Amino acid sequence: MPLLPMRHYPDPILRQKAKTVDLKDPRLPGIVRDMFETMYHESGVGLAANQVGLDLNLAVIDCSGGDDHNAKLVLINPVVLETGGTVEEDEGCLSFPGLRAIARRGERCRVRAFDLEGHAYEVEAGGLLAKALQHETDHLQGKLFIDHLTLASRAAVEGKLKQMKKDAAPKKSGVRA
Residue 35, number of CB atoms within 10 A of its CB = 24
Q: Residue 108 or residue 135: which is nearer to Zn ion going by CB?
A: 135
121 vs 35: CA distance, rounded Å: 20
Q: Return the DSSP state at 149.
A: B
Asked whether the beta carbons of 131 and 148 are under 8 A apart, the reply is no
State which of positions 75-94 bind Zn ion (CB under 5 A). 93
Which residue in 107, 101, 106 sits closest to 150, CA to CA?
101
Catalytic residue among 82, 88, 136, 158: 136
**Cβ of residue 176: shortest distance to Zn ion, in angstroms?**
40
49 vs 56: CA distance, rounded Å: 6
Which residue in 88, 18, 149 sits closest to 7, CA to CA?
18
**Cβ of residue 48: shortest distance to Zn ion, in angstroms?**
7
Say if residue 57 is exposed, middle or buried (CB neighbours under 10 Å; 0-12, 13-18, 19+).
Answer: buried
**Cβ of residue 110: shortest distance to Zn ion, in angstroms?**
20
Q: Residue 23 or residue 42: which is nearer to Zn ion going by CB?
A: 42
Q: Residue 93 or residue 129: which is nearer to Zn ion going by CB?
A: 93
**Cβ of residue 87: shortest distance to Zn ion, in angstroms?**
17
The answer to whether residue 136 is catalytic is yes
Give the interface size with Zn ion as a residue count (CB under 5 A): 1
By rule CB under 5 A, what string of x and - marks binding of each residue 92-111 to Zn ion? Answer: -x------------------
Residues with active-site annotation: 136
Q: Which residues bind Zn ion (CB under 5 A)?
A: 93
